[in-house]
Copies of this chain bind each other. A is one copy, B any other.
Amino acid sequence: MKMSEGVEWGLHCCLALAWLGDDTAVPTATLASAFDVPPHYLNKFLQALVRADILASSAGVKGGFRLAKRPEKITLLDVVTAIEGPEASFRCTEIRRRGAGVTARPSEFAMPCGIAIAMGRADAAWRRELAAQTVADLVKAAPPAGAERMRCWYAPRAR
């Protein structure tokens, strides 16, 4: 059960875009060099964030990505869901119904599988915690030096 690296990349990109402000579009190559990750692969995840309406993309010579909404409106759950997909990590395949021990007794299986309920409870707690934090919270928690450095580094690259 390993989460994709794209989640970490996507969150860092969102934080960087929040630092740089709403009016600057940053292309994939610039973000990739900022974190030293494969540009074309990073692009894949940025596309997923655009599809989820977290980022907005613009084409052309001064194009790139920017946040599609205010940082307070982007939860960590939004980013994770956009990249990892909406399904829960645990998926009940109803093995209790298969197998030799079952003799067609539908009433017993009217109520959902207790194991699935228990795992779903943990998954809900996980999502609740993720939904409680936004990109704006990341901005507040991070040291101001990071934002300053990112701006100073980006400035000469913007034209």
Residues in B neighbouring A87, C-beta threshold 8 A: 2
Judged by DSSP, the binding face of A is helix
Per-position 1/0 for A113-139, Cβ under 8 A of B: 011011101110111111001000110
A101 CB to nearest B CB, Å:
4
* Any B CB within 8 A of the CB of A91: yes
Interface status of A145 (Cβ within 8 A of chain B): yes
The interface size of chain A toward B, counting residues with CB under 8 Å, comes to: 62
| A84, B90: Cα distance in complex, Å | 11
Say how many copies of this protein the assembly contains: 2
Which one of B11, B36, B84, B153 contacts A115 once the chains associate, using CB atoms below 8 Å?
B11
The answer to whether A59 has its CB under 8 Å from any CB of chain B is no
Q: Complex Cα distance A142/B115, Å?
A: 9
A positions within 8 Å CB-CB of B? 1-5, 7-9, 11-12, 15, 33-37, 76, 84-85, 87, 89-93, 95-96, 98-103, 105, 108, 111, 114-115, 117-119, 121-123, 125-130, 133, 137-138, 141-143, 145-146, 149-150, 153-154
Interchain Cβ contacts under 8 Å between A and B, 11 examples:
A1-B89, A5-B93, A8-B115, A9-B95, A12-B95, A12-B96, A35-B96, A101-B150, A118-B133, A122-B127, A123-B126
